[in-house]
Amino acid sequence: MTQPASPQDSLRSFQDEGYLIVRGLLRQEEIDAIRREFDAIAGTAVPGYFEPQFGSDAAADPLKRYPRVMHPHRFNALSRSFMLHPGVMGVLRELLGEEAVAAQSMFYYKPPGSRGQALHQDNFYLKVEPGTCIAAWTAVDRCDEENGCMLLVPKTNVSDIVCPEEADVKESFTTHYVKPPKDEKPVAAVMEPGDVLFFNGSLIHGSYRNKSKDRFRRAFICHYAGLSSTSISHWYNPLYRADGTELRLQANPDGGPCGIETPAYH
């Protein structure tokens, strides 16, 4: 669902479908700054956050050379500033009905030929309570079906968080898969640089392989909770308010639909 004409319609669409695309929320110069920053990071290694393999062994799997960058806001000032982007935070306030607090940032390079990510639910990992998390997924390149754009299963925002099945690791770089309801099929989120996709933490989503020969599908992705949330998986503390102030939520204990704590896939 693309952004409707009014904030009230946007909120209604988000609540009904579980997602909302706001076109052109980030300016071209902002996207250029993000691209330059992560092009520079791509030539380095940041232990614990970004650990590429530069040797010939990476040729068979492009994601070894270009893995996702985890929590760049913890070591990169530009990433933190865009995680707290005023436009993004403003939309989140409308969708949450309260101030948003930032829990996580990521950057995906998704080079040509790389695997996608099997269908999954974000709050399985973040464990935000009460309520759920919201993702803000910013396109840095044009994202379409050829280069592995996002796939969204509408209306699954009201679904329970479920214990996933095993994914096909030949097509997914993660091992979890959530089967969508029989009456709902994934839809492709075709986006241009600067468009931002917001979606609910229960929404089933994922992506297919990048089938293009020479096009990356870069994206800057952050997750948020509402200020009234009281707990989150311990991987995501500390969180940040819009002014950069740190805060910590209670660490959500082990458990969930699988009965165990899961690794920080996000």
Is residue 65 in some structural domain? yes
Phi-psi label, residue 234: left if phi above 0, alpha if psi -120 to 50, beta otherwise: alpha
> Is 70 inside any structural domain?
yes
Range of the domain at 120: 7-251
C-alpha–C-alpha distance, residues 139 and 159, integer Å: 26
Residue 2 placed within a domain: no
Residue 264 domain-assigned (yes or no) = no
What tens digit of pLDDT does each residue of 14-54 get? 999 999 999 999 999 999 999 999 999 999 999 999 999 98
3-state secondary structure of 126: helix
In a domain, 261, yes or no: no
Q: Where are the alpha helices (DSSP H) in the chain?
A: 7-17, 28-41, 62-65, 77-83, 86-96, 123-126
Q: Is the pLDDT of residue 1 over 80?
A: no
**Total domain count, the chain:** 1
Residue 68 domain flag: yes
Would you state the pLDDT for residue 257? 75
Separation of alpha carbons 160 and 181, rounded Å: 12
| pLDDT for 260 beyond 80 | no
* Reported confidence tier of residue 127, pLDDT bands at 50, 70, 90: very high
Could you tell me the CATH number of the domain that includes residue 15?
A: 2.60.120.620
Alpha carbon distance 209, 198 (integer Å): 22
